[in-house]
Structure 1
Amino acid sequence: MFSKFQNHLVSGFPFLVEKKLFLAVSGGLDSMVLLHLVQQLPYEIAVLHCNFQLRGLESFDDRDFVQQYCDENNIKVFITQFDTEAFAKDYKLSTQVAARELRYSWFYELLETEKFDYILTAHHADDNLETFIINLTRGTGLDGLTGIPEQNDKIIRPLLPFSRDEILQYAEENNIEWREDSSNASNKYLRNKIRHDLIPVLKEINPNFLNAFQKTQSFLQESQEMVEDASIMIYQQVAKEEGEDIHFDLNQLKKLPNYKSYLYQWLNEFGFLAWNDIYDLVEGQSGKQIFAEEFRLLKNRETLILSPFSGANESEEYQITEKDSEVNFPLKLKLCQVDDITIDSNKAIFVDAEKIRFPLVLRKWNEGDAFHPFGMQGKSKKVSKLFKDEKLSLIEKEKTWILCSDNQIVWVIGIRQDERFKIEKTTNRILKIELQ
């Protein structure tokens, strides 16, 4: 197994040479074999161990076992402990999910503080099979059937090609000691039930089942790569990125016979869950929207607009004093006195400085806001009507800021200046306000 493992690292992960590697070691069979294998190779390593305090004294015995092994082998070790059950309760998570959140958060923190490059974990082929079956029973797309990735960002799983039987045989041949996790014998957890009850039946039906599964998963991964390639090509035809937003052309999208699959591929990573609602949105009424935790999908005429969503308070106001020549938040504005007017875009306005009353106020627009649009000879108009005339989407409306002087609108920023502050023949001082 050692030669096979060494060749796998050289061919699959050549970039690990001269890198600093953490090994996640629980003290169990898989992680102790991983540690033993990597010890024989010319890598700079250190060990990470988490005590989740879920099995009483047994958890602390695991900690002491890992500590003793590292001391005897002159390996640097980092150990932490978590009140996992309290964390799970506070954040309404399952114990297993809570442990994973705590573990990987700590892993990435140490990567940063200790200046290490990667973390190796001991997931193997049987773990991959169990994950596949779990995802299958819960209902999943192709992503859920392609298995545990060998590399996910800084996490590397070099034992994935190896079975539990191979790992056990290597441990016995090399007299490797390990700690048995008593919870692995219980069917309390779904993974254990699959491990103890279902997989033995599958292997009884086909003694070569694990190899057959690995071939199947390889085919699924190739199919997934084809899907991703097609998704990228179609995305370039249908989607247009505008700042932080993505606009999907529904006229182009609906020409595709399987557009729902493309939408899933594009939107899945943004945390959306209500897929039937999203598919209905394509034919839905303009103005309807669907929310994920941090993103929103809006139907705007013949476009779907994906944009970041924040529940932040939009009623805040920001003051601009007479001394301010620049504003950097929430928008970037530049204020300066000039001698001439050079209007070349809607990104700047020129106003009579003597008509302005400081401090100016920068705020989001409100329903009922009205102003006197430049060029309309003093006629009043609601800002909402301006938005309608400009055919702004809901998202564009929400992003629009208003600049006010003494409760009067000076500028619907980036769209229209107010007539009341315009330059006239009697103007002595011209103030230029520019959106950067």
Structure 2
Amino acid sequence: MKCWSISIIGWRSNFEYIYGVLEEFKNHINSSFFHLLEGRFLLACSGGLDSVVLAHLCHSAGLNFAMAHCNFQLRGDASDRDETFVKQLAKKFNKEEHVISFNTADYMSKNKVSLQVAARELRYDWFYALMEQKGWKTLVTAHHADDDLETFLINLSRGTGIDGLTGIPEKTESISRPLLKYSREQIAAYAKEKGLEWREDSSNLETKYLRNKIRHQIVPLLKELHPTFLSNFNQTQHFLRQSSGIAEDYVEQLKRKLFIKETDVIKISISELLKLNPIEGYLYALFHDYGFVEWNDVQSLMTAMGGKEVRSKTYRLLKHREYLLLEEISIPLGLEYEIQEEEKKIEEPIKMSLAIVDSIEETGNTILYVDKETLKYPLMVRKWRKGDYFYPFGMRGSKKVSKYFKDVKMDQISKEKQWLLCSKDNIVWIMGKRGDERFKVTKGTKKILKISIQE
């Protein structure tokens, strides 16, 4: 809005005179955050200037919310006084309040993370757990335009794509930030006008933290460059978000064309990828959501030997013939699951049933009939190991499991997902694929055990 000005005096005379702060905030809620009118939401309140102004505006606008405060126990009595202040503020507004204390230092030590990461993980995990417990769908935070600029500069300093340059989103599925278009100066002017009190966190003045250094040393210089620097930045962010939206739509169309879903694996044609230019930009757009950051390695994978892979923290890309295979890293390797003789139904790691039957009737890849008396308990369900061999059903002699996998053209990811049913050291069944000749039902079989994989 043009009536906003970087000058507190100009902002008060124009903005407050024409609209009134509260009325403008109500209009902002009605136009951009209508969902906050539909039910109770959770408002995060540290007790600092920004969250106090947010709570005051939401209360004055008649919104239905509860307040949540985290005591990180990092500043001794000052942290406890922050907690007391928020409790008193909630009582003043007649709002339900929730407070929790964290041993943040212990969390940092155990998880080997920085203070900022620890505080973020602790508070948001608690916020979401509280929301789930109460049935609340939205968390409201007091991020504002200066926070957005700081985040932009942090991402820029670390290296980022267009998503990192678009800054903090006003809304996500679970978080709303109705103050994001307002500057810190505007928020401070409102607090002064209303005579509001808030708590000051002394750690916010320490420039040893990157965000604080940017806030206190870099942003003031940028604002000196031009009197409307922040509003110009907001306008640039607006256009960047629009450009990002256009790019996202195109990338989604490209993914629908290139990403072939096969069970839990996505298969991508390398020859189709190589048609894209510039390849580096396309690889980033297609794969950065999966956590990949080593883009030279991702690009090199397309011309690497089969079986080579690149991993992020949550996904991996694997070269298999003329494809890249994308898979979420979820199943730890090396796990073993025992099946006792009396068990009739198994849930982990693969659902199956075991039953004594009179004869062989229905058949298929998901069913195996064996001579129960040839089995030695407990049975074991495990993954393939190097050197494993079995006696393929219907054939004479043994065969290495690795050779069987090669013969049926099984890719590396499928190999690692494949479960084996074993009797002691002997493989009974490459599950869903091939049984072992040594355990087959014969004319002399007295007890037929039917093993079925459940869908």
TM-score normalized with structure 1 length = 0.91
Residue of structure 2 equivalent to 1:381? 399
**Matching residue within 177, 190, 193 for 2:210:** 190
- The residue correspondences of 1:393-404 to structure 2 (distance < 5 A) are 393-404=411-422
How much has 1:286 moved relative to structure 2? 0.8
Residue 339 to residue 91, structure 1, CA distance change in 2 (3 Å): closer
Q: Which digits, 9 at most, give the CA deviation of each residue in 1:135-162, with x for residues without a partner?
A: 1111111111011111233221110011
Tell me the amino acid that sits aligned with residue 265 of structure 1: A
CA separation in 1, counterparts of 2:62 and 2:43?
Answer: 14
Q: How does 1:175-186 map to 2 (within 5 A)?
A: 175-186=195-206
CA distance in 1, matches of 2:135, 2:37: 16
Q: Matched residues in 1 for 2:250 and 2:287: separation? A: 15
Q: Structure 1 residues 32-41 or 52-61, which shifts more?
A: 52-61
Q: How many residues of Structure 1 are paired with residues of Structure 2 in the alignment?
A: 433
Aligned to 1:412: 430
Question: In the alignment, which residue of structure 2 is the partner of 1:77?
Answer: 97
Change (3 A) 1:422 1:2: same
Contact 1:320 1:362 in 2 (8 A): no
Question: Match for residue 274 of structure 2?
Answer: 254
Task: Find the aligned partners of 1:124 and 1:211 in 2 and give their Cα distance.
Answer: 12
Percent identity for Structure 1 against Structure 2: 46
When residues 134 and 381 of structure 1 are mapped into structure 2, their CA distance, relative to the original with a 3 A threshold, is: same
Q: In the alignment, does 2:369 pair up with 1:350?
A: yes
The equivalent residue for 2:50 is 30
Partner of 1:329: 348
Q: For 1:19-38, what per-residue CA distance to the aligned partner results, in whole angstroms no more than 9, with x for missing partners?
A: 11222122222111111111
Contact 2:71 / 2:80 at 8 angstroms: preserved in 1? yes
Distance 2:445 2:102 in 1: 69
Matches within 5 A, 1:112-151: 112-151=132-171
In the alignment, the residues of structure 1 paired with residue 120 and residue 335 of structure 2 have an alpha-carbon distance, to the nearest angstrom, of 38
- The answer on whether the counterparts of 1:409 and 1:418 sit within 8 Å (CA) in structure 2 is yes
1:120 deviates by 1.1
Instruction: Identify the residue that residue 452 of structure 2 maps to in structure 1.
Output: 434
The residue aligned with 2:321 is: 301
Residue of structure 2 in register with 1:57 after alignment: 77
For residues 356-375 of structure 1, what are the structure 2 equivalents within 5 Å? 356=375, 359-375=378-394
Alpha-carbon shift at residue 67 of structure 1 (Å): 2.3
Distance 2:407 2:115 in 1: 54
Quote the offset at 1:419 in angstroms. 2.7
CA, structure 1 residues 417+38, in 2 after alignment: closer, same or farther (shift >3 Å)?
same
Q: Is the 8 A contact 1:320 1:327 kept in 2?
A: no
| Secondary structure class of the residue paired with 1:386 | helix
Cα distance per residue 1:154-196 (max 9 Å; x no partner): 2211100111122122122222222233333332322222222
Q: Secondary structure, in 3 states, of the residue corresponding to 1:152?
A: coil
Tell me the TM-score normalised to structure 2 length.
0.87
Q: Which ranges in structure 1 are unaligned for 5 or more consecutive residues?
A: none
DSSP-derived class of the 1:49 partner = strand
Distance 1:362 1:9, change over 3 A: same
Root-mean-square deviation (CA, aligned residues, Å) is 2.4
State how far apart, in whole Å, the 1-side matches of 2:338 and 2:253 are. Answer: 43
CA distance in 2, matches of 1:96, 1:340: 63
- Separation (CA, whole Å) in 2 of partners of 1:331 and 1:162: 53
Using the TM superposition, give the Cα deviation of residue 234 of structure 1 relative to its aligned residue in structure 2, in angstroms: 1.0
2:386 aligned partner, one-letter code: E
- Confirm whether residue 236 of structure 1 aligns to residue 246 of structure 2: no
